[in-house]
Amino acid sequence: MESANPMTPSTRSRTEKTALLALFSALALAVGAVESWFPLPFPGVRLGLANVFPLLSLLLFGPGEAVAVALVRLCLAFLLAGNPFALACSAGGLSFSLPLSILLYKKYRDELSVPAISVASAAAFNAGQMGVVVILTSEPSVLTYLPVIMTVGCVTGFIVGCLADELLRRIESAVVRRFP
């Protein structure tokens, strides 16, 4: 007697989705760790390439999955690095950038490109991050650094958006070839 296949199409889809989200979370953590090894000329500035993965999660699956990937990365990065200041800054940035990305994608996905959404998200992240820095340091003069962070953030946000857009095309192409 033949046994029933436990991997029905809906189960396979859920399993593949979970596996892909876990992969995105792991890649975001790994890319974030590697990019921290290469400091940029400005203190506290990073490329943010790990943000490709929450953005891809938003584009492929939706807001809940994007939030999940971002939060998994945030929590695991804190557990590995143990830096509460970095955790607070990242959480502050995410609390601005994720809702904005979700709103822009849901309301304006036909009008805005992925790089445009990513640039707006990067700017929001930097604003939230700087707000946390001002609160934690009680030093509003750190806002003089905002133009540098915003400029670099918009450039890297554009790069992240272009990478996410290209990866999205490749993933969609691979899925179409795999499941005709």
At 35, list the tokens.
């990019």
Residue 155's pLDDT is 95
- What percentage of residues in the chain have a pLDDT greater than 70? 90
At 20, list the tokens.
């892909």
**Count of beta carbons in the 10 Å neighbourhood of residue 8:** 10
Mean pLDDT of 81-108: 94
Cα 115 from Cα 110, distance rounded (Å): 13
Predicted structure pTM score: 0.86
> Residue 40 — pLDDT band, cuts 50, 70, 90?
confident
Residue 5's pLDDT is 42
Cα 140 from Cα 162, distance rounded (Å): 34
Mean pLDDT of 82-110: 94
* The pLDDT of residue 111 is above 80: yes
* The pLDDT of residue 43 is above 50: yes
> Residue 6 — pLDDT band, cuts 50, 70, 90?
very low
